[in-house]
Amino acid sequence: MRVVVQRSRQASVEVDGRIIGKIDFGLVLLVGFTHKDNEETIDSMIHKILNLRIFDDEDGVMNKNVRQVGGKILSISQFTLYGDAKKGNRPSYIHALNGKEAVKLYDQFNQKLSEYIEVETGKFGADMQLSLINDGPVTILLEKESL
């Protein structure tokens, strides 16, 4: 499982010209799954995301997590995180989990995450337009390999 975490001042996602998810402050997550990912992978990634200290404390040091600063999450499915462009110029997506299985894990991820924090989402498999103001900018790549 791969997640690109972006600290955001404002973010929204549109499908067919209509905003379907929006946050004012928090984290934008681009979420991708691979073949061995499972519930354990999801639980581990949620723990890491919720405890990632990338927000400033009173002294301007990145020492607080998203819940400590009252942030929200915008979660976007992103199979292209598993694009492999080592050979040629057209990425291969053979390491990305197929849509039928990935949507189950994506829904499970968002449902479990929403037990701890407010979560907005995009639409799995849709052509989405994402707008965000990346705060900092702060962008972290998280990866959890399933065994």
Q: pLDDT tens, 70-101?
A: 999 999 999 999 999 999 999 999 999 999 99
Confirm whether 80 is a catalytic residue.
Answer: yes
| E-assigned strand segments in 16-127 | 18-23, 26-32, 55-56, 62-64, 72-77, 119-121
Task: Retrieve residue 120's tokens.
Answer: 């907005």
Task: Retrieve residue 67's tokens.
Answer: 């819940």
Confirm whether 33 is a catalytic residue.
Answer: no
- The answer, yes or no, to whether residue 137 has pLDDT greater than 70, is yes
pLDDT at 146: 64
Confirm whether 121 is a catalytic residue.
Answer: no
Q: Is 79 within 8 Å of 103 (Cβ atoms)?
A: no
- The answer, yes or no, to whether residue 4 has pLDDT greater than 90, is yes
**Where residue 102 falls among pLDDT bands split at 50, 70, 90?**
very high
pLDDT, averaged across the chain: 96
**Where residue 111 falls among pLDDT bands split at 50, 70, 90?**
very high
pTM for the model: 0.95
**Which residues, 6+ apart, have CB-to-CB distance to 82 below 8 Å?**
2, 32, 33, 34, 93, 95, 96, 97
Catalytic residue among 6, 41, 78, 121: 78
Q: What is the mean pLDDT of residues 100-118?
A: 97
Catalytic residue among 80, 111, 129, 139: 80
Q: What is the mean pLDDT of residues 19-28?
A: 98
**Which residues, 6+ apart, have CB-to-CB distance to 61 below 8 Å?**
none
pLDDT at 145: 80
Q: Which CATH superfamily is domain 2-143 in?
A: D-tyrosyl-tRNA(Tyr) deacylase (3.50.80.10)
